Amino acid sequence: MESAVQAYETNYANGSAGKQRSEREKAIDEWLPITSSRNAKWWYSAFHNVTAMVGAGVLSLPYAMSELGWGPGIAVLVLSWIITLYTLWQMVEMHEMVPGKRFDRYHELGQHAFGEQLGLYIVVPQQLVVEVGVCIVYMVTGGRSLKKFHDTVCSDHCKSIRLTYFIMIFASVHLVLSQLPNFNSISGVSLAAAVMSLSYSTIAWGASVEKGKQEGVEYSYRAHSTAGNVFNFLSALGDVAFAYAGHNVVLEIQATIPSTPEKPSKKPMWRGVVLAYIIVALCYFPVALVGYWAFGKTVEDNILISLDKPRWLIAMANMMVVVHVIGSYQIYAMPVFDMMETVLVKRLHFPPGFTLRLITRSTYVALTMFIGITFPFFGGLLGFFGGFAFAPTTYFLPCVMWLALYKPKRFSLSWITNWICIVLGLLLMILSPIGGLRQIIIQAKTYQFYS
């Protein structure tokens, strides 16, 4: 981590001090994934954001509702949608707040707000936990959805195959796709993923409506003890936080859009974000509410697992999930690739090229696959990562930076709004990992490694 921080420090100093950059530095920037291409259209922003946000999280929302209950569940969903749209707007605005400079990476904005060194120590560890955490969870999601597809298609005459092997199959796709150089080169994968997310969300709630309210369905809390219900409630908050995780890559997505003083990138970026959030609402609210209405407290932590019929439709939905999380994994992996390659090329002076990219990216895919195979606790992982890392970077870190940079007048609307988001985000960060960690411990008691 120390070398990563120092490399970014050097990188930022070179970019912001206004010194004449060498040809080598320019060549490196043109090679690194985030800054190599700036010709994206506004709709790229829309489907990149949908792909980044609507992922594994949407399928766990009915389960989260079963732990929250009707009233608190709806309140948490609506509040999260409003708060995260507001903080996303802040980040889009701050991308080019300094004339002639673009904050292409989350940590660069953090450095501008908190100072060159402190900004790195605040942002880089949190962003890495989020992005690596998402990639691990998506490894598990991809593997589980492949297994569900296999088990649904040939449930009668097929031999049961371990989840481990399905995760390995899913990872093999990423060994190839991870070699694509930058965000624009994965735009086709991202578009397919965004279409899939809307499709399988529609299937999830549509099939729930078709199945109807189950006989004897109960909407009481899942656990039998007060302590169990409290812990589940906290874990569900993390599940919801996980569902709104696109902020960690939003500046990197905006960096791909061209910008001039007359036509700043924030206008097309914001247009894409608004469209993305409309699609997010169309995916999240029907799935969460209809899924919970149909199954009550017996709903699985992945709604598609609760739905068995019609068989062909559920098989197709699971395959759509696979396609979607392939795109999502790539969206979240790209900034990590950028960090690794920046350190290796700028700090350790490795020559940029295909060999470096092949080794570093393949190693990263293998690492996330190994951790996913070892700890495939889907629901608990969502709750733990959702609170521990997503709450700061999504719910309140943009507000802290806004207050530090724009300094709104005390007790003005902007000041009050930002402090409300900060307080709610802090509560989320402190409380939800407790529930997620408890779920992981409970599931670990009966889990056999590499089963």
Angle ∠(161,166,170) on CA atoms, nearest 5: 165
**In angstroms, rounded to a whole number, what is the distance separating the alpha carbons of residues 172 and 261?**
43
Whether residue 270 is contained in a domain is answered as yes
Report pLDDT for 363.
96
Whether residue 302 is contained in a domain is answered as yes
pLDDT, one tens digit per residue, over 113-139 is 999 899 999 888 888 888 888 888 889
Range of the domain at 399: 2-16+32-446
Which residue reads 């709610």 in tokens? 424
Whether residue 26 is contained in a domain is answered as no
Whether residue 23 is contained in a domain is answered as no
Whether residue 334 is contained in a domain is answered as yes
Assigned token pair, 114: 């908190």
Report pLDDT for 231.
81
Please give the helix or strand (H or E) that residue 165 lies within, else none.
Answer: helix 163-177
**Which sign, positive or negative, has the C-alpha torsion 404, 407, 411, 414?**
negative
Report pLDDT for 12.
41
Whether residue 22 is contained in a domain is answered as no
Report pLDDT for 14.
44
Task: Identify which of 431, 444, 426, 445 has the alpha carbon closest to the alpha carbon of residue 384.
Answer: 431
Whether residue 371 is contained in a domain is answered as yes
Whether residue 355 is contained in a domain is answered as yes
In sequence order, the 6+-apart residues with CB closer than 8 A to the CB of 353 are none
Residue 377 DSSP class: -
**In angstroms, rounded to a whole number, what is the distance separating the alpha carbons of residues 276 and 286?**
16
The CATH number of the domain holding residue 392 is 1.20.1740.10
Report pLDDT for 450.
62
pLDDT in tens, the chain (451 residues): 444 444 444 444 444 444 445 677 778 877 888 877 788 888 888 888 888 887 667 878 898 888 888 889 999 999 989 999 999 999 999 998 988 888 988 989 999 999 989 999 988 888 888 888 888 888 988 998 898 888 888 867 778 888 899 999 999 999 999 999 888 888 889 999 989 988 988 888 888 888 878 777 788 777 778 888 888 888 788 778 777 777 888 888 898 898 888 888 999 999 999 999 999 999 899 999 998 998 888 887 777 777 766 778 878 888 998 999 999 999 999 999 999 998 999 888 888 888 999 999 999 999 999 988 887 765 566 556 666 777 888 888 999 999 999 999 999 999 999 999 999 888 888 887 777 677 777 767 766 666 5
Report pLDDT for 219.
80
Contact 199, 50 (CB under 8 A): no
Looking at the structure of the chain, the number of domains it has is 1
3-class SS at 213? coil
